[in-house]
Chains A and B, each alone.
Chain A
Amino acid sequence: MSSIENKILLIEDDIDIQDNLKTFLEMENFEVAAAANGKQAIELMQKEGKPSLILLDLMMPIMNGYEMLAEMKKRDLFQKNPVPIILLSAATDIEETARDQVVKFVRKPIALDKLLTTIKEIHAQYTPHGTA
């Protein structure tokens, strides 16, 4: 498995949603890596480097979205130049603790056109090379 550096890291526990989103993003010519929970995601990031963008689900087993963010802070993972995070959730609002790290909050069911626009905007803003 190649490194996740500069890829979109999709962290989502539901296998169907994960597959669908990955397929969609790859169809739009993004490179995507996936993790099924916060723990897996952190391990991936520590091992393979910084992703260009994180799509983060909140409700996951073992380590959920909020726990992962807290853990990232704790391990000082990319804190100086943080990874932009889009929160995907069926919940209705974001906890205070996460607000500073989260760029955008996309509610489920996901509106793909909006998601696409947001990703493109973020890439243009945050990365040296945006992917078309």
Chain B
Amino acid sequence: MKKKAELPYNLDDDTSLPYYRLVMVAAGAFYLSWYFVVEVLLPGSYNPFWGRFLTVLSFWGVYAASIFSASVRKNIEFWFSFAAWTTTLHIYYLFYNNRIDITWVWGCYMAVITIAALMQTMRSMIAYVMYVIALSIFINYVSPNLSQVLFLPGIFTILGVAFIGLRSRLKLTMQVRENALQIRRLLDSTFEGLALHDGEFLLDINESMAKMFGYTRQELIGKSIYTMCTLESGQMAAAHIAQQAESAYEAIGIRKDGSRFHIEIRGKKHMLKDGVLGRVAAIQDITDRKKNEQTKILFEASQEALRIRNEFISIASHELKTPLTSIKLQTQMTQMAAAKGDPQAYAPERMKKFVSQVDKQGNRLTNLIEDMLDVSRISLGKLSLEKAPTSLNSLVEETLESLNDLIKQSGNQIICNLEPNIIANIDRFRMEQVLTNLLTNAIKYGEGKPVNVTLTKYGNEVSFSVRDQGMGIAKENQERIFARFERAVAAKNISGLGLGLYISQQIVQAHHGTIIVQSAPNEGACFIVNIPAE
């Protein structure tokens, strides 16, 4: 709700309104009371009540009109003059009808000088003066014995005095007005918005502030500052105000049209009149600054993305060259033998070994490329899962089956401890990837010792774990190993991009699950995966 404002300086055109209203009410009351004064002090005078009352109504009527009509308020000076002229006319009328009694001459003088003193502008003064002169000349003409009382010279003198008095008063007012205007213009010229408030309601603002928020000055004055910013910003502002903090802070302002924009606020305490403590704040529109920050952040993000991509390409190309090198060595050796004329160059035994090697390297390449594609999919957010209720028991069995050759070669013993009938809503292909990764890691780093696989369910979660008894993982590496390209210890027989655990973690997290490692150097490692059953 708008609050009545008390401003340190006020230059609006309708400031004179309260003055005129006061004067009109008082003048009306005063003039009415003179009816009774005359009745008591000058009994027998011509003093009709209703004429006087109607005259008083001219003041009060204009006052009332000024409440309801904006046009009257805007032209209050004119309407005041109208009431003043009406009263002057009434006085001259009474004056005339009281046979130009000397007392009434003085009464006339008093009335004229009082009314003249109430004039606020030069033009209304001049108009009144001319009006009174005209009235006086007329009444002088109509009552010739007035010239004996030197009525006209008296009136002229009074009007002259009033005129001079008003002129100096006006000059002073103009000066003050001009100074105030200059200050106002200065305040309005700042780039920042300035606001003066009492802790909640705006008392005064400058033009920049109004423009910034899309209001007129009038609309903003009296408004609560908390309606002009978001809830969080308001809380911040309240805290700053309470602590009388002078530090700048960012906030979000709300314009008249409801749009939001970034601002920076800096305030300090300010003494209002009557010893009341208020606050003055400077407000800056930092939309541009924010945009630049945003651009900078985006730029740096894209630079980082480029760096990651380049790093990835360099690591990938290196890793892909390794199996290719093996293949090329094999083919070159075979060709060179043939070129030398070695009859055994393409011997079946040799070819058998060659083909199996090339096949092996081909698989390595395939796995590498699939991993790279997975990483790419993950970074694009395209790791989509096709979930279906799956028996984890059969998944474990099939994965072990597919790794059979590897298991036989490395000689690891796989010990399974699977609770029966564990079913979960998972993407079979992807979870097999995770299981394969964990198992091959266990075999790779297990130093030939037995590997334990467990599968269990508790509550709404399914959990499986793969434990090896190999070299273990030092504490400082336990987080790193899940990052891209990281390996705590490099591969020996199966090289890779160091992406296995990274991809596994991404897959598990995409299932809203968790994967953790428990390990210590030389005490093996246990990888535990928990996923919701649904």
Which residues of A come within 8 Å of B, CB atoms? 13-17, 20-21, 23-24, 27, 36-37, 59-62, 90-91, 108-113
Q: Would you call A110 and B336 a contact (CB within 8 A)?
A: no
Which of A16, A21, A62, A90 contacts B490, CB < 8 Å? A62
Q: Would you call A110 and B489 a contact (CB within 8 A)?
A: no
Question: 30 A-B residue contacts at CB 8 Å?
Answer: A14-B325, A14-B326, A15-B493, A16-B323, A16-B326, A16-B361, A17-B325, A17-B326, A21-B329, A36-B492, A59-B318, A60-B490, A61-B487, A61-B491, A62-B489, A90-B317, A90-B318, A90-B321, A108-B322, A108-B324, A109-B321, A109-B324, A109-B325, A109-B329, A110-B325, A110-B328, A110-B332, A111-B332, A112-B332, A113-B336
CB distance from A67 to the nearest CB of B (A): 13
Please judge, given known A-B contacts A61-B489, A90-B317, whether A17 and B322 are in contact too, CB under 8 Å: yes
Residues of chain A lying within 8 A (CB to CB) of residue B357: 16
Q: Would you call B318 and A109 a contact (CB within 8 A)?
A: no
Q: Would you call A24 and B329 a contact (CB within 8 A)?
A: yes
Q: Would you call B318 and A20 a contact (CB within 8 A)?
A: no
Q: Would you call A91 and B318 a contact (CB within 8 A)?
A: yes
**Which chain A residue has the least Cβ–Cβ distance from B315?**
A59
CB distance from B491 to the nearest CB of A (A): 8
Task: Determine whether B333 belongs to the interface, using a CB cutoff of 8 Å to chain A.
Answer: yes
Q: Would you call B317 and A109 a contact (CB within 8 A)?
A: no
Residues of chain A lying within 8 A (CB to CB) of residue B224: none
Task: Determine whether B330 belongs to the interface, using a CB cutoff of 8 Å to chain A.
Answer: yes
Task: Determine whether B495 belongs to the interface, using a CB cutoff of 8 Å to chain A.
Answer: yes
Q: Would you call A109 and B492 a contact (CB within 8 A)?
A: no
Segment 283-322 of B: residues with Cβ below 8 Å from A: 314, 317-318, 321-322
Q: Would you call A112 and B321 a contact (CB within 8 A)?
A: no
Please judge, given known A-B contacts A20-B326, A109-B321, whether A13 and B333 are in contact too, CB under 8 Å: no
Which residues of B come within 8 Å of A, CB atoms? 314, 317-318, 321-330, 332-333, 336, 357, 360-361, 487, 489-493, 495
CA–CA, A24 and B333, complex, Å: 7
Residues of chain B lying within 8 A (CB to CB) of residue A23: 333
Q: Would you call A20 and B333 a contact (CB within 8 A)?
A: yes
Max count, chain A CB within 10 A of own CB: residue among B329, B332, B489? B329
CB distance from A32 to the nearest CB of B (A): 14
Q: Would you call A108 and B333 a contact (CB within 8 A)?
A: no
7 A-B pairs closest in CB distance: A61-B490, A90-B321, A109-B328, A20-B329, A90-B318, A112-B332, A16-B326
Other than the given A14-B326, A90-B325, 20 more pairs (CB < 8 A) read: A14-B322, A14-B495, A17-B325, A20-B329, A20-B333, A23-B333, A59-B318, A61-B487, A61-B490, A90-B317, A90-B318, A91-B318, A108-B324, A109-B325, A109-B327, A110-B325, A110-B328, A110-B332, A112-B329, A113-B332
CB distance from B483 to the nearest CB of A (A): 17
**Which chain A residue has the least Cβ–Cβ distance from B328?**
A109
**Which chain A residue has the least Cβ–Cβ distance from B314?**
A91
CB distance from B82 to the nearest CB of A (A): 98
Q: Would you call A13 and B490 a contact (CB within 8 A)?
A: yes
Residues of chain A lying within 8 A (CB to CB) of residue B330: 20
CA–CA, A20 and B325, complex, Å: 10
**Which chain A residue has the least Cβ–Cβ distance from B324?**
A109
CA–CA, A118 and B327, complex, Å: 21
Q: Would you call B495 and A108 a contact (CB within 8 A)?
A: no
CB distance from A97 to the nearest CB of B (A): 19
CB distance from B76 to the nearest CB of A (A): 89
CA–CA, A23 and B350, complex, Å: 13
Residues of chain A lying within 8 A (CB to CB) of residue B324: 108-109
Which of A15, A17, A21 contacts B492, CB < 8 Å? A15
CB distance from A132 to the nearest CB of B (A): 15
**Which chain B residue has the least Cβ–Cβ distance from A28?**
B336
Residues of chain A lying within 8 A (CB to CB) of residue B323: 16
Max count, chain B CB within 10 A of own CB: residue among A21, A109, A110? A109
Max count, chain B CB within 10 A of own CB: residue among A60, A111, A112? A112
CA–CA, A59 and B188, complex, Å: 68
CB distance from B500 to the nearest CB of A (A): 15
CA–CA, A112 and B340, complex, Å: 14
Residues of chain B lying within 8 A (CB to CB) of residue A108: 321-322, 324-325
CB distance from B465 to the nearest CB of A (A): 26
Residues of chain A lying within 8 A (CB to CB) of residue B333: 20, 23-24, 27, 112
Residues of chain B lying within 8 A (CB to CB) of residue A21: 329
CA–CA, A117 and B336, complex, Å: 14
Residues of chain A lying within 8 A (CB to CB) of residue B495: 14
CB distance from B308 to the nearest CB of A (A): 19
Residues of chain B lying within 8 A (CB to CB) of residue A20: 326, 329-330, 333
Max count, chain A CB within 10 A of own CB: residue among B326, B336, B357? B326
Residues of chain B lying within 8 A (CB to CB) of residue A14: 322, 325-326, 495
Residues of chain B lying within 8 A (CB to CB) of residue A111: 332
Residues of chain A lying within 8 A (CB to CB) of residue B361: 16
CA–CA, A59 and B320, complex, Å: 13
Max count, chain A CB within 10 A of own CB: residue among B322, B336, B357, B487? B322
CA–CA, A21 and B357, complex, Å: 14
Residues of chain A lying within 8 A (CB to CB) of residue B487: 61
Q: Would you call B490 and A17 a contact (CB within 8 A)?
A: no
CA–CA, A75 and B326, complex, Å: 33
**Which chain A residue has the least Cβ–Cβ distance from B326?**
A16
Residues of chain A lying within 8 A (CB to CB) of residue B328: 109-110
CA–CA, A17 and B330, complex, Å: 9
**Which chain B residue has the least Cβ–Cβ distance from A61?**
B490
Residues of chain A lying within 8 A (CB to CB) of residue B325: 14, 17, 90, 108-110
CA–CA, A59 and B327, complex, Å: 19
CB distance from A81 to the nearest CB of B (A): 31
CA–CA, A127 and B332, complex, Å: 27
Residues of chain B lying within 8 A (CB to CB) of residue A27: 333
CA–CA, A23 and B118, complex, Å: 121
CA–CA, A16 and B492, complex, Å: 10
CA–CA, A111 and B329, complex, Å: 8
CA–CA, A110 and B360, complex, Å: 19
